[in-house]
Structure 1
Amino acid sequence: MTDTSAGRLAGKVAIVVGAGSSGEGWGNGKATAVLFARSGARILAVDRDERAAAETCDIIRSEGGTCETAQADVSSSADIAAMVEACLAQFGRIDILHNNVGISETGGPVEASEESWNRVIAINQTSIFLTCKHVLPVMERQRSGAIVNVASIAASRYIGFPYAAYSASKAAIVGLTRNIALQYAPLGIRANCVSPGLMNTPMIRKPLAASYGGEDEMIARRDAQCPMGHMGDAWDTAHAALFLASDEARYITAQELVVDGGLTATCVSP
């Protein structure tokens, strides 16, 4: 694939929350941070796992990009406030906020524990409330900014397993993003979602493999569910996020960009 991303984010500063990968290979946040850097942005790579953030940062720097790291628990308002201050101290502004943190735990209301529910909601949903709470005042002062939140088609579709908390949190992200977009549109700030479908990333392999009877079986079955015959990958999510973060999308806000190979357009149950 020809890389046409160069220069699309030139001069911009991007915070990528969840910039590390949860396992070997390319997760959505890692791919997005690297792609944003290749497009000219200076990156603050944020992750709870400092080593994962540093790995992403090393890739960016090895390619000649600019990147710093920050460690943060996304459910902690104090950590998020410190993240914002670190970005301003290093780069002086924040043009893009990309929220990519998320965990997936199976179980419906009966099977899932209250602890599991609260954990998923805190990490997937409350984290975006907190990052926006602390970043939006900066963007408001600048009279510009783009927020790109990663949701999921699980917000609107059953995808094969009961994910009560995951689905609820992702649906909340879509609603929160639209609310922010409309509130802040007069101030030059845009907010949109990317909603990936079935994606072959490190996040899904270990947690879900046992439910399918093994990783190979899981990949084969999930590939077969997709109209295009295969799952997407982290780069598909990253390229969608790049478009929404760039000035090419300057008149696009309050939208959900679905990246699912056509899955949600079908009427066939997963």
Structure 2
Amino acid sequence: MPEPSHYLGRLTGKVAIVTGAGAEGDEIGIGRAIALLMGREGASVLCADLAAERAETTAARIRADGGSAVAAAGDVSDGDVCAALVAAAVKAFGRLDILVNNVGISAPATLASISMELWNRTLATNLTSVMLMSKAGVPEMARGGGGVIINISSLAGMRASGAIAYGPSKAAMAQLSREIGVLHGRQGIRANTVAPGHMMTPHAMSKIPPEMREARRKVGPLGIEGDAWDVAQAVLFLASDEARFINGVELAVDGGVEGIAPLVGHAFVSEP
């Protein structure tokens, strides 16, 4: 979708942490789109990334738009780093209302080929990091009267994709969201999962050849691809007070791909 140009202040007064908020150069990946949109909708944003310069580029763009943002770097599979990120957000902005866990790595390995090192690293990055950031963030949210946790999963967590570690790590993320939403709902804390699919992001463009991209586009019921702004708009809704009664859901942002049968998808490929 085109980059949004109209904003309603839906997150005015809120403080957000977005992990994986960086991107290469001027690219717009999912984390950067989420951080930028939240900043434009009035939130103060701590932009976290493994690479400090990428996080700072995103934060600088928010400030250039007239928003408030700081950058921080660290590996969110480390509990001490997660605690430090939450402390930095509270120090900078006084509270924490929104946590978006967007960090993830892809691991295209089979049962026969996967090493224990890759298995453990995938789960640590994609799943354990969500638990650690939530563990650090929930007490601050509770002190402020509540908050929202939004975990960025993948369509691969809803349907098998041939990646023995990646898919299970993303599927478990949705269950973790449900558990957090149940355990902390009475503290005013909601937790939901967004599962992107059929996205054309800079990361995807680096991995998918043009012919595969065209075949994938034809499989989708809408016949188009999504992008980072589509995901960011879904996250914005779940973070806003408009979604105050939505807790523990897994929202596919995929143009309907999750709902089609394989044979139907195969038939779509032959159509223009």
TM normalised by structure 2 equals 0.92
Q: Which residue of 1 aligns with 2:235?
A: 241
Deviation at 1:230, TM superposition (A): 2.1
Equivalent residue, structure 1, for 2:110: 108
Letter in 1 for 2:185: A
Runs (5+) with no aligned partner, structure 1: 210-214
Please state whether the residue corresponding to 1:121 is helix, strand or coil: helix
Q: Shift of the alpha carbon at 1:55?
A: 1.3
Residues 22 and 203 in structure 1, CA contact (< 8 A), matched pair in contact too: no
- Give the Cα separation in 2 of the matches to 1:23 and 1:130: 28
Deviation at 1:218, TM superposition (A): 3.3
Structure 2, unpaired ranges of 5+ = 266-272
Q: CA RMSD in A?
A: 1.5
Displacement of 1:22: 5.3
Counterparts of 1:109-258 in structure 2, within 5 Å, are 109-159=111-161, 162-206=162-206, 208-209=207-208, 215-258=209-252
Amino acid at match of 1:15: I
- Report the equivalent of 1:51: 53
The residue type paired with residue 47 of structure 2 is A
Letter in 1 for 2:66: G
SS in 2 for 1:217: helix
Superposed displacement of residue 24, structure 1: 5.7
Match of 2:91 in 1: 89
Listed one character per residue, the Cα deviations across residues 214-261 of structure 1 (whole Å, up to 9, x for unaligned) are x32232232222111122100010000000000000111111111110
The worse-fitting range, judged by mean Cα deviation, of 117-126 and 215-224 is 215-224
Q: Which letter maps to 2:180?
A: I
User: Structure 2 vs 1, CA of residues 163 and 242 (structure 1 numbering), >3 Å: closer, same or farther?
Assistant: same
- Are 1:23 and 1:203, in contact at CA under 8 Å, matched by a contact in 2? no
Structure-1 separation of matches of 2:25 and 2:153:
20
Question: 1-side partners of 2:260 and 2:143: how far apart?
Answer: 44
Aligned letter for 1:219?
R
Distance in 2 of aligned mates of 1:150 and 1:55: 21
* Inter-partner Cα distance in structure 1 for 2:163 and 2:219: 18
Maintained 8 Å contact 1:24/1:202 = no
Query: Is 1:267 aligned with 2:269?
Result: no
Q: State percent identity of aligned pairs.
A: 45
Once residues 22 and 147 of structure 1 are traced to their aligned partners in structure 2, the CA distance between those partners, rounded to angstroms, is 25
Q: How many residues align?
A: 262
Deviation at 1:103, TM superposition (A): 0.9
Change in CA separation of 1:22 and 1:103 when aligned onto 2, cut-off 3 Å: farther
| TM-score, scaled relative to structure 1 | 0.93
Query: What amino acid sits opposite 1:21 in the alignment?
Result: A
Q: Deviations over 1:64-114 (max 9, x none)?
A: 111100101011111111111111111110000011111111012112222
Q: Distance in 2 between matches of 1:218 and 1:172?
A: 28
What's the secondary structure of 2:17's corresponding residue?
A: strand
